[in-house]
Amino acid sequence: MGEKTTRREFLKQMALAGAALTVLPGVAEAAEAAAKGSSKSRVVIATDTAVFSQGTTVNKAVLGKMLGNSMAKLTDSKTGAQAWEKLFTPNDVVGIKVNCLFGVGVSTRPEVVRAVIDGLKMAGVDENNIIVWDRSTSDLIKAGFSPNSGKGVKVFADDDHWGPEIQRGAFKGKISTVINDRVTAIINMPVLKSHGLTGVSCCMKNHFGSFNNPGKHHGNACTPAMADFNSIPMVKDKTRLVVVDALRPQHSSGPGLQNNDQFNYHSLIVSADPVAADYHGTGIIQSELAKAGKQTIPDSKLIWLQAAQERGVGTCDPSKIEVLKA
Amino acid sequence: MRVATLMSVLLLFAVTVYGAATPAVEKLLPVKGDVKGFAPMANSLTYGKGDDVSKVYDGGYELYTSHGVVDVARQMYQRDKNYIEVTVHTMKSAKAALDFVKYWAKERGGKLRTTKRYLGFTVTKPNMMGYYAMGKYFVTVSAYYPTAKSAKDVEAFAQAIWKKSR
């Protein structure tokens, strides 16, 4: 994986990230503990084959249990409800970033988002203060979400109404108003799939729907632009949780849908560290490629992981990641 | 009278400039009234040429450009709670359009059929979707509501685009 960040540097980065959360007493400690878990970034995997019934229809009860158990494990809580209370408060306005670009089958499932919304409600977050968003309304519709800017959970897109232009390193673009103006916390909810340019699309790539000009940032495996965007303080510091839909990932030919390259994995990946979650997700894709007798993704396409680590977004050093099963 | 003449000239000029600035592929997208009950959704038009095909296909765009896509225009349409998305691609040649439809038929497990108008196929999973070669254009029409209701609408959109492509 190339040059590694030293433990001291890593802890310093995590401390800085934690400091930015001190506006929410109690949440900072929980988020930091969740992210570090004995000085390591914790990644929790919940797997249950019963999550699919009749093909790929999601069993909501099983899914809810998987998420609750994952959250409890992530935060060392006795119950899922307690875990949600550790990470979110009734004062939060929470943005849930989904990945819907290629429609049903290769986008974040609405059922998984619904389970997360149920969790936020356990923490006392008002459903009027929950925003499910992506770059365009068309994409949300394609993935099975119903646009709503009225009462209840909001489901809407930036479309062509972007926030201010931000430049950070190789990134230069207009950021989502949801991130800039509206939310106190972000839950990054990608779907795990392959990607032609970056090898894998997961948490960090999901934010290519959070600014106006993704087409301008795809060069060199999206590096360092993708890491730069994810390191923007308001993005990094507001990201309190990632929940990866890994129920049925796609190992090749992404990011568009290719039925033959999908495989049932029946899992959710939950973490507070998007880089650690991406690193683990990459391992899942690589393993499945090997099983399928296909060429695995070369390191040259995965350079964004190291770039993100170097910018303090999280860690891709396996010795600093604690993987737990829920 | 002079004012009316001046206004007419300005209007003609504006229409000419708009026509020249609008990519040919975008002109193939149906407008309100082309398919009964459907109208384009606001802010849903996307156009990309060359590497900017990534505006539509993100990191998967090289699959399209390597198969001969020159530029692409996409628009979402709405009729109450029924949504249809149309994507029209200019290909480098009519053969490239035919080959790309065949490629997708293989990938999606679709059965190709030839009509007097176009070569294409439809699939119903995960949603109702039609793929068509219309001369040098490669067209996809995706419906996001049940197949029983959407199959006819997908066909109606395909026909509306075909009429414009002639």
Interface residues from chain B to A (CB-CB < 8 Å): 41-44, 46, 48, 51-52, 54-55, 57-63, 74, 76, 81, 83, 85, 107-109, 125-127, 142, 144
Report d(CA A252, CA A294) in Å as an integer. 9
Q: In this complex, do B44 and A137 lie within 8 Å of one another by their Cβ atoms?
A: yes
The answer as to whether B4 is a domain residue is no
Q: In this complex, do A196 and B59 lie within 8 Å of one another by their Cβ atoms?
A: yes
Q: Where are the domains of chain A?
A: 7-325
Range of the domain at B31: 24-165
The answer as to whether B146 is a domain residue is yes
Q: Is A149 exposed, middle or buried (0-12, 13-18, 19+ CB in 10 A)?
A: exposed
Report d(CA A28, CA B8) in Å as an integer. 65
Report d(CA A281, CA A291) in Å as an integer. 15
pLDDT tens for B115-150 read 878 899 999 988 899 999 999 999 999 999 888 889
Q: Which of B58, B64, B80, B84 to mutate to test the interface with A (most CBs of A within 10 A)?
A: B58
Report d(CA A155, CA A131) in Å as an integer. 6
pLDDT tens for A165-204 read 999 999 999 999 999 999 999 999 999 999 989 999 999 9
Confidence band, pLDDT 50/70/90 cuts, at residue A10: very low
Q: Provide the shortest C-alpha distance from residue B93 to chain A (in Å).
A: 24
Structure tokens at A116: 């997360």
B-chain CB neighbours of A257 within 8 Å are 126
Q: Above pLDDT 70, what percent of chain A?
A: 88
Q: Which of A146, A160, A256 sits opposite B57 (nearest CB)?
A: A256
Min mean pLDDT across A31-35, B56-60, B160-164 is at A31-35
Confidence band, pLDDT 50/70/90 cuts, at residue B153: very high
Confidence band, pLDDT 50/70/90 cuts, at residue A16: very low
Answer with the residue of higher pLDDT: B20 or B26.
B26
Q: Are A34 and A42 in contact (CB under 8 A)?
A: yes
B-chain CB neighbours of A102 within 8 Å are 58, 60
Q: Averaged over A84-91, what is the pLDDT?
A: 98
Structure tokens at A301: 């396409």
For residue A89, give the DSSP letter. Answer: -
B-chain CB neighbours of A141 within 8 Å are 76, 83, 144
pLDDT tens for A194-232 read 998 999 999 999 999 999 988 889 889 999 999 999 999
Q: In this complex, do B108 and A196 lie within 8 Å of one another by their Cβ atoms?
A: no
B91 phi/psi in degrees, rounded to 5 = -100, 165
Report d(CA A27, CA A18) in Å as an integer. 9
A-chain CB neighbours of B105 within 8 Å are none
Which pLDDT does position A258 carry in this prediction?
85
CATH number of the domain that residue B148 is part of? 3.40.1000.70
pLDDT tens for A271-323 read 999 999 999 999 999 999 999 999 999 999 999 999 999 999 999 999 999 99
The answer as to whether B8 is a domain residue is no
Q: In this complex, do B76 and A196 lie within 8 Å of one another by their Cβ atoms?
A: no
Nearest CA in chain B to A57: B126
Query: What CATH number does the domain located at A7-325 have?
Result: 3.40.50
Q: Does residue A118 surpass a pLDDT of 70?
A: yes
Q: Which of A138, A177, A191, A248 to mutate to test the interface with B (most CBs of B within 10 A)?
A: A138
Strands B113-114 and B119-123 come out as antiparallel
Report d(CA B162, CA B137) in Å as an integer. 9
ipTM for this prediction: 0.75
Structure tokens at A96: 């849930």
Check CB contact of A197 with chain B, cutoff 8 Å.
Answer: yes
Radius of gyration, alpha carbons of chain A: 18
B-chain CB neighbours of A259 within 8 Å are 108-109, 125
Q: Which of A100, A101, A140, A141 to mutate to test the interface with B (most CBs of B within 10 A)?
A: A141
Give me the number of domains chain B comprises. Answer: 1
Nearest CA in chain A to B124: A104
Which pLDDT does position A257 carry in this prediction?
87
Q: Are A158 and B42 in contact (CB under 8 A)?
A: no
B-chain CB neighbours of A159 within 8 Å are 42-44
Report d(CA A209, CA A97) in Å as an integer. 8
Nearest CA in chain B to A161: B43
- Residue labelled with tokens 């540097």: A9
Residues 6+ apart with CB under 8 A from A151: A128
Structure tokens at A291: 């099983």
Confidence band, pLDDT 50/70/90 cuts, at residue A3: very low
- Residue labelled with tokens 């972007």: A162
Q: In this complex, do A142 and B107 lie within 8 Å of one another by their Cβ atoms?
A: no
Q: Provide the shortest C-alpha distance from residue B52 to chain A (in Å).
A: 6
